[in-house]
Structure 1
Amino acid sequence: MTLQYLIFDASDDGEGTGTWDAMASVRVADVPAVQAEVQAVLTWAERHSPGPRGPLDEGGAWDADEQVQTDGDWTTVTLTITGPWEWGEALVAHWAPGD
């Protein structure tokens, strides 16, 4: 599966931890498709987990946060994933379109 809606942007803290933000802004009719992508990404993250999910400052190896905001006919879905840099880059590469 290639992601059709979510687009990831990565940032590295310089100490081996990264943050990957994915965002999609869609009309209401496309929200279920975006939610399906979010669920697929989270399922992959859990299956390939580098350790327990939870806040990193509380001992978690990775974590994720989803925000949904509706403004008129548009809904913005934001998924933020934090974890080890190599793991997160593998996650993003898994969803990248093939060459």
Structure 2
Amino acid sequence: MDLHLLDFECTEDADGLVCWDALAQPLARHNNALLQEVSQVLAWAFRFDPQGPGPLEDGALWDYDLQATLHGDGQLPLAARIEFSPATGQTTLTPPALDQRIALSLSLSGAPGFVQAFRDHWGAP
């Protein structure tokens, strides 16, 4: 994988549906790089299937869940809104993480065709 901050773990069910989960909480100086990696992965997924994510049980090829929390020195964690825009290919965080670390989770699930393409492109397990 050509990713340095997102480290995916894989689970697969009997029907061939796969879920990759990544957790990351790098130092604050890596926040931009972390958001860029998320953007790369999700932009690829939207290019693969422009119809976008949705429930696999309803026939979608893939879906994702993206969550973030901000952590500052001596402060309580602060929930943040994190969104990916397929139109711009960028991930935004509200409020912005100034000198706070981002604790981020990205879960990406897919049907067999998506799974194989993801593995081929990213070298994922």
TM class by smaller structure: 0.7 to 0.9
1:81 maps to 108
1:37 maps to 37
Q: TM-score, normalised by structure 1?
A: 0.79
Displacement after TM superposition at 1:77 (Å): 1.2
Alignment check: 8 A CA contact 1:50 1:61 kept: no
| Stretches of 4+ aligned residues off by more than 3 angstroms | none
Displacement after TM superposition at 1:68 (Å): 0.8
SS in 2 for 1:34: helix
Q: TM-score, normalised by structure 2?
A: 0.65
Gaps of 5+ in 1: none
Counterpart code for 2:117:
A
Displacement after TM superposition at 1:39 (Å): 0.6
SS in 1 for 2:25: strand
The structure in which a higher percent of residues are helix is 1
Larger radius of gyration: 2
Counterpart code for 1:94:
H
**Per-residue deviation, residues 11-54 of structure 1 (Å, max 9, x unmatched):** 01111111011121112221111110001000111111296421
Q: How many residues align?
A: 97
Identity of aligned residues (%): 34
CA distance, structure 2, for counterparts of residue 89 and residue 75 of structure 1: 30
Alignment check: 8 A CA contact 2:62 2:114 kept: no
Alignment check: 8 A CA contact 1:50 1:62 kept: no
